[in-house]
Structure 1
Amino acid sequence: MSTLHVLSHSPFSDTRLGSCLRLLGKDDALLLSGDAVYALQQGSVLKSLEEQTVFILEEDLLARHLECPSWATCVDCPAFVELSIRYDKVNSWL
């Protein structure tokens, strides 16, 4: 069963990102939104995710003046809704 994991909190303020990464299965995907996009900054653990499916909410990248890495896919809000339908489950890391 595939899961879309949605993170919106900064990876520098708590351990949600690390917990999520430990549970990420081969059929799962990760969507970064809000302050979670700061995980893309240099030296972050996300560099190890190049083998995983990673989506990033485009409006949050733009708001924080960050760029989408080549190994991830930027999505807009309608595409986010589409992703939530494509995966069997959606787990929001509140």
Structure 2
Amino acid sequence: MATLHILSHSPFADSRLVSCLRLLGANDALLLTGDALYALQPNTANLQALQLLPAGIALYALDEDLAARGLAAPERVQTVDYPGFVELCSRYAKVNSWL
């Protein structure tokens, strides 16, 4: 059963990103929002870990939050707007928000 994982906390503040990456299944997806987008900063271990995920794991970033932080999505990451966020939540059988 595929799960959409939603992460909003900075990867530099705690270990939620690392924990989430360990639990991702083959057909799961990860949506980065809020300060979790700092994981996409170039030349970081966090970005490298995301880029090394298997191709079956979809990576998304909320475009409004990217713009607010002055970041760009790497090629591996698809951007979504708020309607796209809602659509993702309905596409996956389960949604897990890493609070």
Normalization by structure 1: what TM-score? 0.95
**Do residues 19 (structure 1) and 24 (structure 2) align?**
no
Give % identity. 61
Compute the RMSD of aligned alpha carbons: 1.0
User: Could you report, residue by residue, the CA deviation over 1:43-73 in whole angstroms, capped at 9, with x for unpaired residues?
Assistant: 2232323623100000000000000111110
Which consecutive residues of structure 1, in runs of 5 or more, have no partner in the other structure? none
Structural mapping, 1:70-85, within 5 Å: 70-85=75-90
User: Could you report, residue by residue, the CA deviation over 1:7-33 in whole angstroms, capped at 9, with x for unpaired residues?
Assistant: 000000000000000000011000000
**Do residues 92 (structure 1) and 67 (structure 2) align?**
no
Hey, what's the Cα distance between the residues in 1 that align with 2:9 and 2:18? 12
* Segments ≥4 residues shifted beyond 6 Å: none
Which consecutive residues of structure 2, in runs of 5 or more, have no partner in the other structure? none
Hey, what's the Cα distance between the residues in 2 that align with 1:67 and 1:5? 21
**Partner residue in 1 for 2:51:** 47
SS in 1 for 2:96: strand
Normalization by structure 2: what TM-score? 0.91
